[in-house]
A and B are shown apart, each in its own frame.
Chain A
C-alpha cells in the first residue's frame, strides 16, 4: 500500500479508533474540518462526534481534559494544530501528565498521546516551524517519539496510543506529503525505544531523527565513493536506544549528530555526552553536532535555509569528520 507520511498517521488513528472503544481524538478542527493538515480527515464521520471531538482554541484545556479522561480509563489522542503551541499546554504535560504515575506510587497511568506537526523547511516562520522535543526529553515520565518514515509514523503512533504512559509524538510537517512509501496492508507496530539502523557503514556514524534522516541518507548515497557512512535514525528520543548508538560508534569511531532543532540544549548534546563518556577509547575523532543555529526560524526562505541544517551542511560536516 503506497501512502504518504500524513496518510500513515491518519490510518494509525483510524485503526486504533476501530480497534479500541477507549480511544478518542481531541483537538482544534480535528472533527468537521478533518484537521488543519487533514490528518484526521473523515474520522469524525466514520467514528462519531463523541470520539473525534472539536475543542476550543486552548491547548491547556485540550491536554488537561485529556489527562482527566485518561485517568478514567480512556486513551485520548490530543492534536496540537502546530506543535509550536504545545507550550500553552506545557504545564499540564510536565506537571500533571508526566507526574501522575509517580505521585500515585505507580497505581495510576496516564495513557495520552500529544501529537502535532513540528519542524521547518516550509517557510512557516517562527510560530509554525518549531522543534521543541528537547524540552520534553528533560522530563521523567514522558516518552518522546519522532518518526521519519511513513512506516514508522504509523507503527509508532499505534504503539504510542497503546502505551500506558504519556507520549509526545512529533510528526514532521515537511514530510507530510513529500514522502510516499509502501507499507504493509496488515497491521503492524513499531516499538517505542528502538532506533533504526538505516544504513550500515564502516567509517562514520551519523545519528539523526525526523526530516534530516532523508538528507543524511541522500548524503550517504551521494558520498558512497569517498566515505562509508552508517546512519542511525533514533525514532524514539526518550528513552534513547543507547545500545544501538554505542555499538555503532564503537565500530566506526566517529560520530556526527544531526537534528533540525537548535544546537543549544538539543538532543545532540545528550547524545554527544554519552558517546564521549562511554565510547571515549573507541573515538577516532571529536563528536560533532550539526543543528539549527541558535536563533528563531526566520520566515524568509533564504534565511530559513541559512539557519536550518541542509544537504550542503550535512555533506560538509561528514567530509570534515571523515578526514579528521
Chain B
C-alpha cells in the first residue's frame, strides 16, 4: 500500500515549515518511526518520523522549500515484505529494557564483548557508516564546542557509531601538531582543525593550535600541595576563560603599535583641570577611536558565520575591573558623545560595575573595544579581541621621554608624554592596510589635540 508522509502541524499557530534536510533516500528501506527528514518552523525544529515501515518511493519536496501543513512530503510503499526487522534474541535479564535507556540497546552490531583494552599501536577501528545523524554524549558536545570541532569528521566507536570522549581525545591527539603518524587514521587529511594562517601572522603571536588550555584546565582535580590554595572558578571567571580561549582560537590576531605623543592631550587635560573638570586619558582614546572608526568602517564590525557585519552604529566596549572580575560595559553611539559625556559615562559605569548594578543589556552590543590597564599598565600589551568584534585598542603607560621633533626646520630634542598604543585586529577580516590605517589615524587625532 502506498501512503503519504504529510507535513504535521507543530504548534497551534504554525501554518508552514521549511524542509531542512532529508535523512533517507528514495528506495531506502525504513522502519516505523525512523526519522525521515528535518523540518524547521517559526516555533520548533523537528524530525519527522516515518508513519510506517516500508520503502521510500518518492520524495516530493526539496530541501529549502517551504510547504504548508498537511502537504505531502513523500510517499512510502508499505509492502508486507518490508516488515520491520525481527526482534533481537531474548535477553538474559531484562534490565535491558528496565534498567537501561532503550537506545542503549545496540542495533547496528552484534552484542559486545568490548575489545580488550589497548594502549598503543592498534589501528583505530574504521568509522561506521554515517546515517546523517551523529550521536554524541554531553561531554563530547562540550569538548566539540570548546575546541571548535566538526563532529562529522570524528570516527565514533561507541554503540551505533556514537562519538565518545575517547574518540574525541584520540582525534585531538592525532591532529595535534607533531603527533602525525602516532595513530593510524583512515583519512589523515580530514584530521585537521587549524585556523587559516595569514601572511602577517608571522609578525604576531601565532594562533593557538588544536590543544585547548581550557580543556586542560578542566581536567580532573587540581593538584595541590599542602598550604596551596585551590580557588575554583566563579561563573564569571569561567566565562572569561572560555571567551579568551575561543577568541584566540577563532581570530588570527595581528598586533600593531603606535607611539603617540600625548602632549596636546595633556594640555587639554590640564586646561580642563583648571576649570574644575578631571579627565583621564581614556576618554580621549575612546573619542579618537570612535572618530577613526567612522572613517574605517571595516574595523567597526562583527563576524557572523562566514560574513562580516559592518555596523552602522559605533558602540565602544570598555573594560572595567571589578572585584568579581572584568566587566565590559558598552558606550552606545560613542561617536556622538563629547569628551565630557564619555568621561561621565565611564565614571558612571565604573561606580555601577563596582556595586554590581550594571544590567546585562549594557554589557552587550559592542562593535569595538578599548582597554586601559591604568597607571600600572606597563609599557604596552597585546590585547585579545572581544568576540565577535574584530578589533581592540589597548593603552600603554604614558611616560615622559626625550623625543626628536622638527622645530622650524631644525631637529630638536624635547620632553614629551609618550604612549605606546596597541591595536589588535582580526586578520581574517581586516587586511594590513585597513588595520594600520586605522591605528595611524587614531594617533593623528590624539596628536592633533582637537577633541571638539
Which A residues fall within an 8 A CB radius of B? 225-228, 247, 250-251, 253, 263, 280-286, 288-290, 293, 312-313, 316-317, 319-320, 322-324
Residues of A within 8 A of B162 (CB): 324
CA of A42 to CA of B299 in the docked complex: distance in angstroms? 88
CA of A202 to CA of B431 in the docked complex: distance in angstroms? 47
With A251-B220, A284-B139, A290-B95 given, can you name 13 additional A-B contacts, CB distance below 8 Å?
A250-B220, A253-B165, A263-B99, A282-B139, A283-B139, A284-B165, A286-B100, A289-B99, A293-B98, A313-B95, A316-B92, A319-B114, A322-B114
Report the minimum CB–CB distance from A99 to chain B (whole Å): 35
Residues of A within 8 A of B409 (CB): none
CA of A312 to CA of B91 in the docked complex: distance in angstroms? 13
Q: Is the Cβ of B116 less than 8 Å from the Cβ of A324?
A: no
Question: Which size bracket describes the interface of B in this complex?
Answer: 20 to 34
Q: Which residues between 86 and 127 of chain B lie within 8 Å of chain A, taking CB atoms? A: 92-93, 95, 98-101, 104, 106, 112-117
Report the minimum CB–CB distance from B191 to chain A (whole Å): 21
Report the minimum CB–CB distance from A218 to chain B (whole Å): 17
Residues of A within 8 A of B141 (CB): 281
Q: Is the Cβ of B115 less than 8 Å from the Cβ of A226?
A: yes
Partner of A226, one of B101, B116, B140: B116
Q: Is the Cβ of A316 less than 8 Å from the Cβ of B137?
A: no
Residues of B within 8 A of A283 (CB): 137-139
Residues of B within 8 A of A320 (CB): 100, 104, 112
CA of A293 to CA of B95 in the docked complex: distance in angstroms? 9
CA of A313 to CA of B162 in the docked complex: distance in angstroms? 24
CA of A224 to CA of B159 in the docked complex: distance in angstroms? 21
Asked if B376 is an interface residue, CB under 8 A from chain A, the answer is no
Q: A324 and B158 in contact (CB under 8 A), knowing A281-B142, A319-B113?
A: yes
Asked if B202 is an interface residue, CB under 8 A from chain A, the answer is no
Q: Is the Cβ of A226 less than 8 Å from the Cβ of B117?
A: yes
Q: Is the Cβ of A317 less than 8 Å from the Cβ of B165?
A: no
Residues of A within 8 A of B166 (CB): 284
Report the minimum CB–CB distance from B212 to chain A (whole Å): 15
Report the minimum CB–CB distance from A92 to chain B (whole Å): 35
Q: Is the Cβ of B117 less than 8 Å from the Cβ of A323?
A: no
Partner of A323, one of B138, B139, B158: B158
Q: A280 and B113 in contact (CB under 8 A), knowing A253-B165, A320-B100?
A: no
Asked if B221 is an interface residue, CB under 8 A from chain A, the answer is yes
Q: Is the Cβ of B93 less than 8 Å from the Cβ of A284?
A: no
Q: Is the Cβ of B112 less than 8 Å from the Cβ of A319?
A: yes
Residues of B within 8 A of A227 (CB): 114, 117
Q: Is the Cβ of A316 less than 8 Å from the Cβ of B138?
A: no
Partner of B221, one of A226, A247, A312, A317: A247
Report the minimum CB–CB distance from B95 to chain A (whole Å): 7
1/0 contact string of B120-159 vs chain A (CB within 8 Å): 0000000000000000011111100000000000000011
Specify the chain B residue showing the minimal Cβ separation from A294.
Answer: B98
Asked if B302 is an interface residue, CB under 8 A from chain A, the answer is no
Chain B residues touching A, majority SS? loop
Report the minimum CB–CB distance from A225 to chain B (whole Å): 5
Residues of B within 8 A of A322 (CB): 114
CA of A226 to CA of B117 in the docked complex: distance in angstroms? 5
Specify the chain A residue showing the minimal Cβ separation from B103.
Answer: A286
Report the minimum CB–CB distance from B128 to chain A (whole Å): 13
Q: Is the Cβ of B95 less than 8 Å from the Cβ of A317?
A: yes
Residues of B within 8 A of A225 (CB): 116-117
Residues of B within 8 A of A263 (CB): 98-99
Q: Is the Cβ of B92 less than 8 Å from the Cβ of A285?
A: no
Q: Is the Cβ of A281 less than 8 Å from the Cβ of B117?
A: no
Residues of A within 8 A of B221 (CB): 247, 251
Report the minimum CB–CB distance from A203 to chain B (whole Å): 8
Q: Is the Cβ of A323 less than 8 Å from the Cβ of B99?
A: no
CA of A85 to CA of B198 in the docked complex: distance in angstroms? 77
Q: Is the Cβ of B93 less than 8 Å from the Cβ of A313?
A: yes
Residues of B within 8 A of A317 (CB): 95, 99
Report the minimum CB–CB distance from B155 to chain A (whole Å): 15
Partner of B100, one of A226, A250, A288, A293: A288
Give the residue among B113, B142, B159, B165 with the most A Cβ atoms within 10 A: B165
Give the residue among A247, A290, A324 with the most B Cβ atoms within 10 A: A324
Q: Is the Cβ of A228 less than 8 Å from the Cβ of B139?
A: no
Report the minimum CB–CB distance from A290 to chain B (whole Å): 6
Residues of A within 8 A of B159 (CB): 323-324
CA of A284 to CA of B169 in the docked complex: distance in angstroms? 12
CA of A137 to CA of B104 in the docked complex: distance in angstroms? 31
Q: Is the Cβ of B158 less than 8 Å from the Cβ of A316?
A: no
Specify the chain A residue showing the minimal Cβ separation from B220.
Answer: A251
Asked if B386 is an interface residue, CB under 8 A from chain A, the answer is no
Closest 3 CB pairs of A and B: A284-B165, A281-B142, A284-B137
CA of A263 to CA of B159 in the docked complex: distance in angstroms? 25
Residues of A within 8 A of B104 (CB): 286, 320, 324
Report the minimum CB–CB distance from B217 to chain A (whole Å): 13
Specify the chain B residue showing the minimal Cβ separation from A282.
Answer: B139
CA of A226 to CA of B119 in the docked complex: distance in angstroms? 11
Report the minimum CB–CB distance from B245 to chain A (whole Å): 16
CA of A247 to CA of B158 in the docked complex: distance in angstroms? 24
Specify the chain B residue showing the minimal Cβ separation from A322.
Answer: B114
Report the minimum CB–CB distance from B55 to chain A (whole Å): 31
Partner of B101, one of A253, A282, A286, A293: A286
Asked if B247 is an interface residue, CB under 8 A from chain A, the answer is no
Partner of A324, one of B92, B95, B164: B164
CA of A196 to CA of B184 in the docked complex: distance in angstroms? 40
Q: A280 and B138 in contact (CB under 8 A), knowing A247-B221, A286-B104, A316-B93?
A: yes
Partner of A290, one of B99, B112, B164: B99
Give the residue among B100, B140, B164 with the most A Cβ atoms within 10 A: B100
Specify the chain A residue showing the minimal Cβ separation from B219.
Answer: A251
Specify the chain B residue showing the minimal Cβ separation from A285.
Answer: B137
Q: Is the Cβ of A253 less than 8 Å from the Cβ of B139?
A: yes
CA of A281 to CA of B101 in the docked complex: distance in angstroms? 19
CA of A323 to CA of B141 in the docked complex: distance in angstroms? 18
Residues of A within 8 A of B112 (CB): 319-320, 323
Q: A284 and B114 in contact (CB under 8 A), knowing A316-B92, A324-B159?
A: no
Report the minimum CB–CB distance from A131 to chain B (whole Å): 17
CA of A225 to CA of B117 in the docked complex: distance in angstroms? 6
Residues of B within 8 A of A284 (CB): 137-140, 164-166
